[in-house]
């Protein structure tokens, strides 16, 4: 049951995947409308996928193919990064859109899907190649996977079969292991693509290029020169209509376990022997195993949680978390999390990694900041307090780019030193719009390249670090939860958290 067409080089030259059918379970949801359909259309528009690619939506609504095509056109008109929609491209693309209605628990729906896929193979020449996408709540994963296996839609005898699983990958270590066991009963690991859209972002991918394709960075990317690392994922939005999900997840499960740990591993990993899936993912897993696990009182000393209160965002009054619709007024769910990790290996021994994420913060921004150690400054004894450390900051979103902060002399007769920035911005430097993350990841899945997807042991290693933190928080659920005003950078306790080591959060 192994994948007969894996991409082994990792450094992919421009190539088009084989014709295939993409099957989206939960195709009426927001993910399909905002991300998946626009991504597939943009790939078709740019000639990155074959003209006979097919897309089958599966959901509960009693739609016809034409209903589905009309709905997907609205999605393209609203959310494509390339507007207006090209009519010629759309007409060809829409000819490959099909709908299969039914309940995810009903085997008859999967039998109808099997018949439809056979018809598409015959009419569009998709050669039995299938890419399943589970854009559904995790509660129905087992039903979908089990029924695909029951009707024989999981094998590899004719063409290739792959399955993309959308996060969350469980809610703790035990549930992650169970989910992995569920999907592994029907699919080989080589067929399973656990998606984290952060890995499709240009700056995240560029992190590896910057580190390993430039002589000037790699020699100083270690404990001898780096003072500490800050990883920030800030959101100005609240929970919106996701109260049910967020009440169960909270900031740690929603952002840290997946997105932020991926950013950490890519920042800290050793150079892989090759740029291919197993080598890159193997180095990331080594980082996770090297992180000192926090347990008991260590959790209290190295983590922080808080909730947003009433405040102002962009001049608009917004309610506090406990006033949001659907939230328990006595909820203990954190909307802000700060953590301090140490990586116990030769490269990073003694270098703290600070992570912070929160909702209703001052602005939306995701950044990795490498702060270097201060030089001795013996030449500048009178102005040493004015000199700031060098920082290399990678902006993941918005305005993807890289900034290097260093010191320079201000023009004039006096020795006055100020920090200055060297900025690189994707849009300004290359003059083209960067592809959306889902475009890259869907294309890689069709090509059979799992480099930017999460491996089974990686998921479980992430949860092995997070679960003891969640358990300790549950034990101390009676502790007062700090509050912070919406529109700020978090609670005062977050500043204290990092200042106790004579450091400060970057101003973003």
Catalytic positions are: 259
SS3 per-residue string spanning 39-65? HHHHHHHCCCCCCCCEEEEEECCCCCH
Q: Is residue 244 a contact partner of residue 326, using CB atoms and an 8 Å limit?
A: yes
- Rounded to the nearest 5 degrees, what angle is found at the Cα of 455, between the Cα atoms of 450 and 458? 140
Distance CA 371, CA 376 (A): 16
Distance CA 199, CA 396 (A): 10
Q: Which residues pair with 401 in a beta bridge?
A: 395, 425
Count CB neighbours of 282 within 10 A: 17
Q: How many CA atoms lie less than 13 Å away from 146 in the CB half-sphere?
A: 12
Find the distance separating the first CA and the last CA of the chain, reported in whole Å.
48
Residue 466: which residues within 8 A CB-CB, separation 6 or more?
172, 173, 252, 253, 256, 257
Distance CA 410, CA 423 (A): 19
Residue 296: which residues within 8 A CB-CB, separation 6 or more?
472
In eight-state DSSP terms, residue 448 is T
Distance CA 503, CA 498 (A): 6
Distance CA 280, CA 452 (A): 9
Residue 467: which residues within 8 A CB-CB, separation 6 or more?
172, 173
Distance CA 69, CA 97 (A): 6
Distance CA 131, CA 129 (A): 7
Count CB neighbours of 113 within 10 A: 22
Return the structure tokens found at 244.
């049910």
Q: For the chain, how many residues are written?
A: 508
Q: Which residues pair with 341 in a beta bridge?
A: 353
In eight-state DSSP terms, residue 198 is G
Q: Is residue 452 a contact partner of residue 441, using CB atoms and an 8 Å limit?
A: yes
State how far Cα 27 lies from the chain centre. 20
Q: Which residues pair with 335 in a beta bridge?
A: none
Distance CA 323, CA 194 (A): 34
Residue written as token pair 């009693």: 62
Q: Is residue 486 a contact partner of residue 324, using CB atoms and an 8 Å limit?
A: no
């Amino acid at each position: 049951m192994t994948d007969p067409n894996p991409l082994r080089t990792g450094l992919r030259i421009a190539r088009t995947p084989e014709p295939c059918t993409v099957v989206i379970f939960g195709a009426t949801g927001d993910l399909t409308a905002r991300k998946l359909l626009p991504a597939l259309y943009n790939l078709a528009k740019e000639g990155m996928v074959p003209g006979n690619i097919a897309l089958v939506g599966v959901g509960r609504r009693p739609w016809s193919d034409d209903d589905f095509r009309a709905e997907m056109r609205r999605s393209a008109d609203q959310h494509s990064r390339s507007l207006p929609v090209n009519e010629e491209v759309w007409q060809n693309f829409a000819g490959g859109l099909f709908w299969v209605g039914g309940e995810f628990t009903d085997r008859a729906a999967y039998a109808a899907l099997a018949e439809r896929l056979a018809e598409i193979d015959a009419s569009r020449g998709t050669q039995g190649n299938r890419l399943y996408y589970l854009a559904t709540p995790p509660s129905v994963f087992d039903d979908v996977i089990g029924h695909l296996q029951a009707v024989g839609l999981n094998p590899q005898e004719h063409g290739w079969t792959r399955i993309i699983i959308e996060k969350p990958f469980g809610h703790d270590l035990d549930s992650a292991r169970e989910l992995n066991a569920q999907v592994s009963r029907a699919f080989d690991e080589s067929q399973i693509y656990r998606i984290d859209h952060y890995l499709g972002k240009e700056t995240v991918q560029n992190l590896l290029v910057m580190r390993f394709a430039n002589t000037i960075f790699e020699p100083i990317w270690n404990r001898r020169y780096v003072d500490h690392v800050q990883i920030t994922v800030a959101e100005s939005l609240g929970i919106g209509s996701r109260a049910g999900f967020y009440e169960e997840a909270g900031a740690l499960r929603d952002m840290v376990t997946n997105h932020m740990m991926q950013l950490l591993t890519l920042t800290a990993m050793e150079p892989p022997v090759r740029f291919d899936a197993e080598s890159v993912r193997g180095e990331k897993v080594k980082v996770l195993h090297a992180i000192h696990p926090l347990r008991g009182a260590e959790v209290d000393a190295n983590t922080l949680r808080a909730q947003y209160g009433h405040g102002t965002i962009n001049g608009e009054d917004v309610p506090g978390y406990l006033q949001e619709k659907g939230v328990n007024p006595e909820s203990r769910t954190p909307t802000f999390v700060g953590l301090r990790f140490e990586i116990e290996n030769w490269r990073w021994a003694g270098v703290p990694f600070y992570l912070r994420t929160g909702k209703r913060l001052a602005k939306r921004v995701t950044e990795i900041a490498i702060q270097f150690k201060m030089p001795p400054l013996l030449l500048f004894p009178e102005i040493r307090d004015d000199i700031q450390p060098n920082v290399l900051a990678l902006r993941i979103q918005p305005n993807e780019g890289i900034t290097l902060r260093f010191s320079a002399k201000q023009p004039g007769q006096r020795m006055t030193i100020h920090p200055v920035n060297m900025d690189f911005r994707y849009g300004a430097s290359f003059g083209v719009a960067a592809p959306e993350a889902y475009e890259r990841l869907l294309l890689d899945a069709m090509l059979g390249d799992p480099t930017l997807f999460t491996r089974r042991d990686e998921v479980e290693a992430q949860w092995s670090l997070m679960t003891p933190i969640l358990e300790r928080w549950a034990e101390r659920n009676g502790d007062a939860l700090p509050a912070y005003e919406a529109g700020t950078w978090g609670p005062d306790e977050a500043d204290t958290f990092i200042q106790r080591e004579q450091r400060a959060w970057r101003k973003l």
